[in-house]
Amino acid sequence: MDLAGRLVRRFREEPDDPTVVGLEGEDADRVFDALGSGTSRALLRACYEEGRTRSQLADELGTSVQNVGYHVDKLESAGLLEAVETRYGENGREVTVYEPSKRAVVIAAGEPGVVDRLAAAVDRLFVPLVLAGLVAMVAGVVDRGPERIGMLGDDAARTTEITATSGTAAAVVTFLVGVLVVLGADRLGAFDRPDVERRSGLARLLIGRSSESTHRYAVSTLAGALVTFLALDLVAAGTGHRLSIAAWIGVQLVIPLGAIAAAAIAYANDGLVVSWAAASAPFVGIWGYLVAGEFTRGGIDPILFALGPAAVALVAAPLGSIAYLVGRGVATRRGRGTPLSRRAIAVLIAHPFTAAAIVAGWLRLVG
């Protein structure tokens, strides 16, 4: 049997996980030192045929037992040879039988191992792929046609029946396109982690003190808007009784949860604009569902289209200001960051009242 065949036979016997050896370090030195001698390689080749004792190897290779012992020790130290059993020789003394190790040794030249690369890829691409999945689900809902909800509903009978496969093709195509976009962006380095930037002054007040945290919260905010869209669809479409109930509860809580998230962001990273975005995400998700439904039914109501930006400006952003004040107040009391100036506090307190005054004035004007 040739050497390749013996290797296959050996590793069919439930081999251990491979050992990855880089080109640098003591492990690499031991492996290359052990295989640097022709005698060591011949000794290892002989052991692949059948387990050998030191004296048997000495007879087969035509050398001394002391020389064989020297090379066996090197191979064993490098993890290429292992003692598998002890038997008694012809003279009644115990002798050790050696065979090649079942643990494969992989020489990694210049790059990390497969597992390390895979783990790094998962860590780097998990969030973009999750976002691609959420966007694909939203595309499936839009393709199927969002349902009318609340006062926008009517008594007309449904012309189509919602099935498990409604919008599936659009969702699958969108996800595949999203995956291709993510992989292409990754090759361009879009998801490489840049150096963390620490901000101060006005930049910290508006977008947060840590660039990495700001990016993470911005992605979470986008995901929150998409999840709100999908939860509202579960409520409107009534797909699955228990799932619909859970989605209904989630929709009832989504605006308070957005405010809590805005306060938590302000506590952890500062960033008034990011807090506004977190508080606005539920409003954007709900508004997006309503607009998508009207669009798929033949057009967009201008009043409904303008309602979203108005709700964000007049309700969500002031709510975010209140949450920001709460978060920064708690952070200041616990010694995290510098206190807000009196002018900033005054502006933030005035924000909700200003928005309320604008709404009241508008209602009085149109009424």
Query: What is the distance between the alpha carbons of residues 204 and 207, in angstroms, rounded to a whole number?
Result: 6
pLDDT in tens, the chain (367 residues): 344 444 444 444 444 555 555 555 666 677 777 788 888 888 888 887 778 888 888 888 888 888 888 888 888 888 888 887 777 777 777 888 888 876 666 655 555 555 556 556 666 788 888 899 999 999 988 888 887 765 444 444 444 444 445 567 888 888 899 989 988 888 887 777 666 677 777 888 888 888 888 888 999 999 999 999 988 888 887 655 666 677 777 788 888 999 999 999 999 888 899 999 999 999 999 999 988 888 888 777 788 888 889 889 999 999 999 999 999 999 888 877 778 888 888 988 999 888 888 878 877 777 5
Q: In the prediction, which pLDDT does 118 show?
A: 57
Do 261 and 228 share a domain, yes or no?
Answer: yes
Query: What is the distance between the alpha carbons of residues 121 and 185, in angstroms, rounded to a whole number?
Result: 13
Do 117 and 213 share a domain, yes or no?
Answer: no
Do 143 and 247 share a domain, yes or no?
Answer: no
91: phi then psi, degrees, rounded to nearest 5: -90, 5
Do 211 and 353 share a domain, yes or no?
Answer: yes
Q: Which of 108, 125, 144 is the last residue of a domain?
A: 108
Q: Give the CATH number of the domain where residue 77 resides.
A: 1.10.10.10
Q: In the prediction, which pLDDT does 18 show?
A: 54
* Burial of 256 per CB tally in 10 Å (0-12, 13-18, 19+): exposed
Question: Computed over its alpha carbons, how large is the radius of gyration of the chain?
Answer: 34
Token representation of residue 2: 């040739």
Do 189 and 68 share a domain, yes or no?
Answer: no
Q: Which residues contact 277 (CB under 8 A, 6 or more apart)?
A: 217, 218, 221, 320
Do 185 and 242 share a domain, yes or no?
Answer: no
Q: In the prediction, which pLDDT does 117 show?
A: 63
Do 209 and 297 share a domain, yes or no?
Answer: yes
Q: Which of 193, 212, 240 is the last residue of a domain?
A: 193
Q: Is the torsion defined by CA of 82, 86, 87, 90 positive or negative?
A: positive
For 57, the domain range is 3-108
Do 189 and 219 share a domain, yes or no?
Answer: no
Do 235 and 363 share a domain, yes or no?
Answer: yes
Q: In the prediction, which pLDDT does 194 show?
A: 65
Is the pTM higher than 0.75? no
Do 235 and 309 share a domain, yes or no?
Answer: yes
Q: Which residues contact 187 (CB under 8 A, 6 or more apart)?
A: none
**Number of domains into which the chain is organized:** 3
Q: Which of 108, 127, 146 is the last residue of a domain?
A: 108
Do 8 and 134 share a domain, yes or no?
Answer: no
Do 186 and 290 share a domain, yes or no?
Answer: no
179: nearest Cα among 121, 102, 104: 121
